[in-house]
């Protein structure tokens, strides 16, 4: 699966020099700790490239004799990113991100002289599914992860529902109108260009798609996601 997460990108100035600013932070393979950006595309619609982060850790190995041997090991993380400047919704897309994005955010802020802001986006999954289906594509929800279901004044529950058919109706029948929760994620069967795909939508503007999913399909999902942003 390929993972995408979107962030809102803001700037105190303009974005004309963004690629040049990022390119100024250069990665050095020879240094024990280094990070930098490699720009692969720069045009009026946006910027795309890679962020490379190298760090070293001490790895201890226990030998058969019982002795311990410590060696320095280099770990290199590569984060693919894209900055979309082609609309009023300036977006930063992160592809298959490592577990932590702290190094990326810190390097991005420093390279842009702290003039750019990166903010998380939260999505109403119910609306996201609605807007995808509104695009005249066949959508069936086959999994839901729901948190914050009110059981009593002091008790909340988390619920996971899965099925081979659309589980939305069963969710509402099971919960009833008085128990509300927040949908954290949903898996959908998405009929696009004559093929069924299983996708996962996350409340923090995340998307998981199978390898080979068409790029113009991601555009459809992104446009629906923007319409479903929580206020």
Q: What is the pLDDT of residues 61-82, one digit of tens each?
A: 888 887 888 888 888 889 999 9
pTM: 0.85
Could you tell me if 115 and 101 are in contact, meaning their C-beta atoms sit under 8 angstroms apart? no
If one compares 28 and 51, the residue with the highest pLDDT of the two is 51
Could you read off the pLDDT of 155-178 as tens digits, one per residue?
A: 888 989 998 877 877 887 777 766
Q: Where in the chain is the domain with CATH 3.30.160?
A: 2-120
Helix (H, G, I), strand (E, B) or coil at 88: coil
Residues pairing with 23 in the sheet: none
Considering just the CA atoms, what is the radius of gyration of the chain in Å? 22
Q: Report the pLDDT value the prediction gives residue 150, as an integer from 0 to 100.
A: 81
If one compares 206 and 86, the residue with the highest pLDDT of the two is 206
Enter the CATH code of domain 2-120: 3.30.160
Per-residue confidence band for 51, with pLDDT thresholds at 50, 70 and 90: very high
Residue 145 has pLDDT above 90, yes or no: yes
Residue 216 phi, psi (nearest 5): -70, -20
Could you read off the pLDDT of 179-220 as tens digits, one per residue?
A: 578 999 999 999 888 899 999 999 999 999 999 999 999 999
Could you tell me if 32 and 42 are in contact, meaning their C-beta atoms sit under 8 angstroms apart? no
């Amino acid at each position: 699966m390929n993972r995408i997460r979107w962030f809102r990108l803001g700037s105190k100035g303009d974005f004309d020099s963004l690629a040049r600013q990022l390119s100024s932070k250069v990665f050095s393979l020879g240094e024990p700790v280094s990070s930098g950006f490699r720009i692969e595309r720069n045009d009026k619609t946006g910027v795309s490239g890679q962020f490379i982060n190298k760090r070293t850790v001490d790895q201890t190995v226990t030998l058969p004799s019982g002795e311990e041997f410590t060696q320095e090991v280099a770990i290199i993380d590569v984060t693919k990113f894209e900055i979309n400047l082609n609309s009023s919704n300036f977006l930063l897309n992160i592809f298959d991100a490592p577990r932590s994005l702290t190094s990326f955010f810190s390097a991005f802020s420093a390279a842009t002289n702290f003039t750019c802001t990166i903010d998380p986006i939260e999505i109403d999954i119910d609306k996201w599914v609605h807007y995808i289906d509104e695009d005249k594509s066949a959508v069936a929800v086959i999994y839901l992860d729901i948190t914050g279901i009110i059981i009593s004044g002091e008790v909340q529950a988390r619920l996971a529902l899965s099925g081979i058919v659309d589980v939305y109706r069963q969710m509402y029948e099971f919960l009833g109108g008085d128990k509300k929760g927040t949908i954290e994620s949903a898996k959908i069967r998405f009929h696009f260009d004559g093929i069924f795909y299983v996708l996962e939508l996350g409340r923090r503007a995340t998307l998981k798609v199978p390898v080979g999913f068409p790029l113009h399909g991601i555009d459809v999902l992104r446009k629906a996601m923007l319409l479903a942003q929580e206020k």
